[in-house]
Amino acid sequence: MLIYNLTYEELVEFLSKNGHKKFRADQIWNWLYKQKVATFREMTNLPEELLVLLEETYKIQALELVLKHTSTDGTIKALYSLHDGHLIESVLMQHHYGNSICVTTQVGCNIGCSFCASGLLKKKRDLTAGEIIAQIIETERILKERIAYVVVMGIGEPFDNYEQLMRFLTTVNHPKGLEIGARHITVSTSGIVPKIKEYAHMGLQVNLAISLHAPNNEIRTKLMKINQRYPVEEVIGAIKYYLSVANRRVTIEYILIDGINDMPEVAEELSRVLRGLNVYVNLIPYNEVLEAPYKRSASQTMNTFYDILSKNKIQVTLRKEQGHDINAACGQLRSQHL
């Protein structure tokens, strides 16, 4: 079992059952999450009997770096191999305000969005919390700098791996763990309505993003087959429920695709759907995927879409493009090596 899978409380319980004091958990977590050691033997202040116990019970190496691409803008995309040979990806983005990582939660994806490289291969399995955490640890080792922001928006649907996602968030936010502030973490979902409502009651300060990509069922179903299960009106209803319970603003992710969802009349419709909600729209230039028939919107088209939302008093940003030259869209690197 991977030691990163343990919560702090579970590690304390394990040590207690084996005759070791609670302060040993603090020492171990300091080595894991502050010092980011690669072997148990680097934990130099632990007694030999505890080191042997850890080595016999847990693994510390979760990922093997297969390939690393670095963009001209500093974006780093890493392809990792898991213990069973499956491949996953993480993307590191460097901003003036700090380093941000996009992590993967599943091997493959069953959501099947027609524009996305992640869904080219069906889900093989969920990642454990420790395997998600290890993506941050390994990327910090590569970068040799601290990661301050986390986006759970890589391969897979986070809310389809809900239990492990929650365990991941606990450790990442824990003061003895990676100690990344909750408001520096964003979880993105394609719109699994029951889980959005469940998540609203978790009492977390972690940001929530919804991949909407269309204001109506005709366009959204073409782009996202999950819309057949949870249509636009149900997703909007879940957003309203979340806002009423959690009282936290929601990000609406909207990838702009040429001739599909980027027309002025679609922008007007989106404005009507979102009017009065405590949301802001993140417009995203499309990273083209070889296997998908879609093209990115022209710059002027994206600017017009932005202007219409802004005119209608919808809070909106147009994301600065990063990593386009290294195929940084989720799943692109993995799909090329299978």
Q: How many structural domains does the chain have? A: 2
Residue 8: its pLDDT value, please? 98
Give the length of the chain: 338
Q: What is the DSSP letter of 298?
A: P
- What value does the mean pLDDT take over residues 250-265? 98
Q: The CATH number of the domain where 303 resides is what?
A: 3.20.20.70
Asked whether residue 47 falls in the same domain as residue 164, the answer is no
Kindly state the percentage of the chain with pLDDT values over 90. 86
Full residue range of the structural domain in which residue 173 is found: 64-335
Find out whether 11 and 29 touch, Cβ atoms under 8 Å. Answer: yes
Tokens representing 293? 């028939």
Q: What is the CA radius of gyration of the chain?
A: 21
Residue where a domain terminates, one of 57, 80, 100: 57
Q: How far is CA 50 from CA 6, 23, 25, 34, in A?
A: 16, 13, 11, 20
Q: What is the overall mean pLDDT for the chain?
A: 94
Report d(CA 277, CA 244) in Å as an integer.
Answer: 10
Query: Is 330:84 a contact under the CB 8 Å cutoff?
Result: no
Chain center to CA of 125: 16
Domain boundary among 33, 57, 81: 57
Distance CA 72, CA 114 (A): 28
My answer on whether 13 and 129 are in the same domain is no
How far apart CA 277 and CA 270 sit, in angstroms, is 12
- Report d(CA 225, CA 190) in Å as an integer: 10
182 shares a domain with 226: yes
Q: At 248, list the tokens.
A: 């936290």
Are both 224 and 331 inside the same structural domain?
yes
Q: CB of 315 within 8 A of CB of 279?
A: yes
What's the CA gap between 184 and 100, in Å, rounded? 9
211-232: per-residue pLDDT in tens? 999 999 999 999 999 999 999 9
Which one is predicted more confidently, 319 or 297? Answer: 297
**pLDDT tops 90 at residue 1:** yes
Contacts of 147 (CB under 8 A, 6+ apart): 92, 98, 99, 100, 101, 136, 139, 140, 178, 180
Is the per-residue pLDDT at 325 higher than 90?
Answer: no
How many Cβ atoms from other residues are within 10 Å of residue 243's Cβ? 17
Same domain, 142 and 73: yes
Structure tokens at 292: 């998908």
Between 116 and 27, the more confident residue is: 27
What does residue 28 show for φ and ψ, rounded to 5 degrees? -65, -45
Query: Do 32 and 73 share a domain, yes or no?
Result: no
Percentage of the residues of the chain whose pLDDT score is greater than 70: 94
CATH number, position 53: 1.10.150.530
Tell me: the pLDDT tens digits for 104-132? 999 999 998 999 887 677 899 999 999 99
Cα–Cα dist 273/237, whole Å = 11
For residue 323, is pLDDT > 70?
Answer: no
176 and 260 housed in the same domain: yes
Are 79 and 170 part of one and the same domain? Answer: yes
What pLDDT shows up at residue 303?
Answer: 98
- Which pLDDT belongs to residue 108? 94
20 lies in the same domain as 150: no
The answer to whether 273 and 308 have CB atoms below 8 angstroms apart is no
Distance of CA 213 to the CA centre of its chain: 17
User: Which ranges of the chain does DSSP label H, i.e. alpha helix?
Assistant: 8-17, 23-29, 48-57, 129-143, 162-173, 193-200, 217-223, 232-246, 264-274, 299-311, 332-335
Helix, strand or coil, per DSSP, at residue 119: helix
Q: Are residues 80 and 42 in the same domain?
A: no
Handedness of CA 89, 94, 95, 97 (dihedral sign): positive
Active-site annotation, residues: 89, 330
pTM above 0.75, yes or no: yes
On whether both 108 and 175 belong to a single domain, the answer is: yes
Asked which of 38, 57, 76 is the last residue of a domain, the reply is 57
Residues 214 and 323 in one domain: yes
Taking the CA atoms of residue 48, residue 2, residue 151 and residue 112 in that order, the dihedral angle to the nearest 10 degrees is 170
* pLDDT level of residue 290 (50, 70, 90 thresholds): confident
Distance of CA 71 to the CA centre of its chain: 20
Mean pLDDT, residues 194-207 taken together: 96
Q: Once rounded to an integer, what is the mean pLDDT over residues 163-171?
A: 98
| DSSP code string of 174-193 | -TTTT---GGGEEEEES--H
C-alpha angle 228/186/194, rounded to 5°?
35
